[in-house]
Amino acid sequence: MKLYAYCLVEDLDTLDVPVRGIDGAAVRLLKIDEFGVLVSDGESDAFPLTKESAVAHDTVVRSVFDRRTLLPFRFGSVVSEQQLRHYVATYKPALKKSLAHVRGCVQMDLKIIWQYTKPAAGPLPEEDRGPGTTFLEKKRRELLGDERQVAEKTELSNLLHKELGDLLRDEQIELQPSKTAVLAAVFHLIERANTARYRENVQEIRNKRPDLKIRLSGPWPPYSFVNIELEFKSQFGVS
């Protein structure tokens, strides 16, 4: 018997409404210590990797998202009950810390396209380039690229914090730069009660900065703020 795990929840003793998960399987609440885990049972390890399955995963997570604090598992988390219990026992302090971090919060996503106003650093002038020059030029490009990315991230963060700063509990920014623009994926953790204000403030940014193309989505379960494995590794030096 295998379990498909959807999310770990606190303060939930029963599921009020029947929920269907991947492949239409009934979802049940498995209690492990003080946590609840939403799972569905399967006879084998296999399940269809389809968009319907992915949406079903998100639907199950959302079925308790508006009432409870939860940590979503990544899609495809099929385990035995023993593995799941071992996982919860091993990571219990980190799970509790993560739950405390996201309690009462939702995730809001911004996708921002930002056109460059300054051209990217070009190559050194064509001269007699030996292997040393080529190597140094490559290093220079890497360093300039890194510096530029740090500068862009800082500038974007400052801009967002000016309008949204008092609403943010946590923030992650991922940049995908190109020669002409930056595509930024920004994930914000905010208190659920501040969702409407957050939307209004994002509209303010749009009004002030029409050069930025901003797409807002949410509220999402806190998918981007539950990476406890990294915290565990950094805390205990496990790699």
Partner 1 sequence: MSSPFDQIIVSEEWENSDVSLLETLDHVLNRGLVIAGEITISVADIDLIFLGLNVMVSSVETAQDLLRKRQTETIAE
Query: For the chain, how far is it from start to end, CA to CA, in angstroms?
Result: 30
CB 81 within 8 A of CB 4: no
Q: How far is the CB of 45 from partner 1 (least distance, A)?
A: 4
Q: Is 223 near partner 1 (CB under 8 A)?
A: yes
Q: Is 226 near partner 1 (CB under 8 A)?
A: yes
Q: Is 101 near partner 1 (CB under 8 A)?
A: no
Q: How far is the CB of 38 from partner 1 (least distance, A)?
A: 12
Q: Is 47 near partner 1 (CB under 8 A)?
A: yes
Structure tokens at 95: 């799970």
How many Å apart are CA 115 and CA 118, to the nearest integer?
Answer: 9
> How far is residue 218 from each of residues 105, 110, 130, 156, 222, measured CA to CA in Å?
12, 9, 53, 20, 10
DSSP of 145-207, one letter per residue?
Answer: HHHHHHHHHHHHHHHHHHHHGGGEEEEEEEEEE-SSEEEEEEEEEEEGGGHHHHHHHHHHHHH
Q: How far is the CB of 41 from partner 1 (least distance, A)?
A: 14
CB 210 within 8 A of CB 188: no
Q: Is 171 near partner 1 (CB under 8 A)?
A: no
Structure tokens at 11: 């303060």
Q: Is 229 near partner 1 (CB under 8 A)?
A: yes
User: Which one among 109, 163, 191, 231 touches partner 1, defined by CB under 8 A?
Assistant: 109
Q: How far is the CB of 181 from partner 1 (least distance, A)?
A: 18
Q: How far is the CB of 123 from partner 1 (least distance, A)?
A: 32
Residues 56-95 touching partner 1, rule: CB under 8 A, are 57-58, 71-79, 83-84, 87
DSSP label at 59?
Answer: H
Q: Is 14 near partner 1 (CB under 8 A)?
A: no
Q: How far is the CB of 10 from partner 1 (least distance, A)?
A: 14
How many Å apart are CA 221 and CA 4, to the nearest integer?
Answer: 18
Contact segment (CB under 8 A) with partner 1 among 10-18, 126-134, 150-158, 225-233 equals: 225-233
Q: Between residues 158 and 217, which has the closer beta carbon with respect to partner 1?
A: 217
Q: How far is the CB of 84 from partner 1 (least distance, A)?
A: 7
133 three-class SS: helix
How many Å apart are CA 228 and CA 79, to the nearest integer?
Answer: 18
User: Which one among 13, 14, 51, 119 touches partner 1, defined by CB under 8 A?
Assistant: 51
Residues that bind partner 1 (CB under 8 A): 2, 5, 8, 44-52, 54-55, 57-58, 71-79, 83-84, 87, 109, 215, 217, 220-221, 223-224, 226-229
